[in-house]
Structure 1
Amino acid sequence: MKTRTLNETIELSSRAIAATIVAVLGVILSGCGSDSGGTAPATSAPECTGGVLEADLHAEPLSGPGVDPETGKLRPPPEGSSYTISATYGIPQPGDAVREKYVQYFGAIQAQLASQPGLVAIQLAQSPSCGSGRTLAVWASTDDMYGFVMSPAHLAAMDAVNELVEPNYAVTHWEAASTDEITQEEAVRRIKAKEALAR
């Protein structure tokens, strides 16, 4: 088994935070047809990309230890500090084989996220028309985010992400001192800017 250093993992930025993409596959795959039937969304449409907010995107509320149970709102970071936000976008590869592989990884990822130090909140979202999913994860610090990146469950998901997700998946992360900057709209804006730089 190959052991990765933190620097090697950071260099794999196009696959970083792959486990949260795999986590959102559970939401998406529950509504997808199998190889033997069902209709697949038109994922080749130009509006079905990470840099375009889907019109029918349904986002669950943020959940986690940083969410105030009375208001349902994310608590702001401690004064003078910021959160690290990671965002992902992906469309699962079609077929039953993907579903089987997903089940293999999801349990480990779910357990890892449930006990991951520094995870403040997470949000899963899906678009039925594009068959896409998005995640937004709020971390107490960049070090905490990379602690998750280097976890065994995440490393396994990184190795499998190309088999599970269409090639147009996208990831990004940023610092946010205000909870106003922690939205799916902000994630889309940042993914679009990143995509424009890559052209």
Structure 2
Amino acid sequence: MMTRGFDTMLSATIERSSRALAAAVLAALGVILSGCGSDPDTKTTDAPLAECTGGVLEADLEADALTGPGVDPETGKLRPPPEGSSYTVSATYGVRRQGDAVMERHLQIFGAIQAQLASQPGLLAIQLGYSPSCGSGRTLAVWASTDAMYDFVMSPAHLAGIDAADELLEPTYVVTHWETAETDGITLPDSVRRIQAFGDPAR
């Protein structure tokens, strides 16, 4: 498992990849906001940023269903991996910084990322969540393999967003990934538990 801010011994290459994957939070946030028609700079409460962390599931989290080619359309459940293999699951959490300039920059960078996610090879399923009170976005993605995940992370469209993560996200953003063959446990609450178990960097 790899989580931003939890291991000071991570190599520069791994840290760079972590920041790249973290930027996907902004893509998810853009999708959610455009879908619900919310004002991106308006929160429903004045919840302090310190109370909005990756390791605590937001009470008002609004989440789409897990969707993608790996989901059985009849049952709505993720198909199990081939026998003897496992999936790689990635989870991100982030709060977009406020301001029109940030939103404009977000739209410039992550439109291409959103389009790429729609047809990314190896991406089996994705779930997006948004908390109006915290202004936070979460992603949960299921990949055929770790290599498939990094193919997306290091792709040209996504590389364009690597260096913008710190500019566009509050410093509490979190990235983690793990491998599992147990599809029933691939949920947003489980991703929150994993972030919490390894120490939320906002705490």
What TM-score bracket applies, with the shorter chain setting the length? 0.7 to 0.9
How many percent identity over aligned positions?
67
Residue 155 to residue 43, structure 1, CA distance change in 2 (3 Å)? farther
Q: 1:18·1:157 contact (CA, 8 Å) conserved in 2?
A: no
Cα distance in structure 2, aligned partners of 1:39 and 1:178: 36
Pick from 91, 101, 111 the counterpart of residue 97 of structure 1.
Answer: 101
Moved more, 98-107 or 48-57: 98-107
Structure 1 residue 135 and structure 2 residue 139: aligned? yes
Count of residues in Structure 1 that have an aligned counterpart in Structure 2: 190
Moved more, 134-143 or 97-106: 97-106
**How far 1:60 moved relative to its partner?**
0.2
Q: Secondary structure at the match of 1:195?
A: coil
Higher normalized contact order (CA 8 Å, seq sep 6+, divided by chain length):
2
Any residues of structure 2 matched to 1:1-199 within 5 Å, and which? Answer: 8-12=12-16, 14-26=18-30, 27-28=32-33, 30-32=37-39, 34=41, 41-195=45-199
Moved more, 14-23 or 181-190: 14-23
TM-score normalised by L of structure 1: 0.86
Q: Give the CA RMSD over aligned residues.
A: 2.2
Moved more, 16-25 or 55-64: 16-25
Q: Secondary structure at the match of 2:106?
A: helix
Unaligned residue ranges in structure 2 (runs of 5+): 1-10
Q: One-letter code of the match for 2:185?
A: E
Cα distance in structure 2, aligned partners of 1:60 and 1:186: 16
**How far 1:9 moved relative to its partner?**
3.6
Q: One-letter code of the match for 2:27?
A: A
Q: 1:9·1:150 contact (CA, 8 Å) conserved in 2?
A: no
Q: Cα deviations across residues 39-78 of structure 1 (Å, max 9, x unaligned)?
A: 5743525431000000111110011110111121111111
Q: Match for residue 7 of structure 2?
A: none
Q: 2:27·2:113 contact (CA, 8 Å) conserved in 1?
A: yes
Unaligned residue ranges in structure 1 (runs of 5+): 1-6
**How far 1:163 moved relative to its partner?**
1.4
Cα distance in structure 2, aligned partners of 1:41 and 1:20: 25
Q: 2:172·2:202 contact (CA, 8 Å) conserved in 1?
A: no
Q: Secondary structure at the match of 2:161?
A: helix
